[in-house]
Amino acid sequence: MEVWPCVRLASGFLLIVPGGGGRCFHLTLPADTFEYPPTTIQDLRVHTVSPKAIYLLRSASAATRHEGQRRERDLAVMRQLRARLLEGELESNLVLTLEEMGPASD
C-alpha cells in the first residue's frame, strides 16, 4: 500500500489521494500513522504505517470504489485488522474523514 505526500496537522496527517472516475479526495490519518515500528523483510527495512492508518486507508478505498472484488477485499482486510490489531480501539477512533475535492488534475 502506498502513502502519498502528506501535511502534518495537530491531529494527524492530511493526504490528497486519487479516487476512481478521476476524483480527488482529502483524507485525514491519525497522529500515530508513522509511529509503528519498522519491519525487516529479506534484509530490507520497511517502515509500515500503523494498523489504524491502514484501516482508515482501506476504509477510504472501500468508500471510493465501485461495488466489486477490490472493494470486498478492502472490507475483508478491515475486518481482519479490527479482529487482530484493533480489537480494543474505540469505534469513534476509526471513523473515516474523507472529503471529495473534485476532479484530479494531471
Angle at 67 between CA 90 and CA 87, to 5 degrees: 20
- Going by pLDDT thresholds of 50, 70 and 90, the confidence category of residue 19 is confident
pLDDT of residue 67: 65
Q: How far is the CA of 65 from the CAs of 43, 68, 71, in angstroms?
A: 35, 8, 6
Grid coordinates representing 43 are 534484509
pTM to 2 decimals? 0.79
Residues 6+ apart with CB under 8 A from 11: 28, 30, 31
- Going by pLDDT thresholds of 50, 70 and 90, the confidence category of residue 66 is low
How many domains are contained in the chain? 1
Q: How far apart are the first and last CA of the chain?
A: 22
Range of the domain at 25: 6-103
- Residue 32 within any structural domain of the chain: yes
- Residue 1 within any structural domain of the chain: no
- Residue 59 within any structural domain of the chain: yes
- Residue 94 within any structural domain of the chain: yes
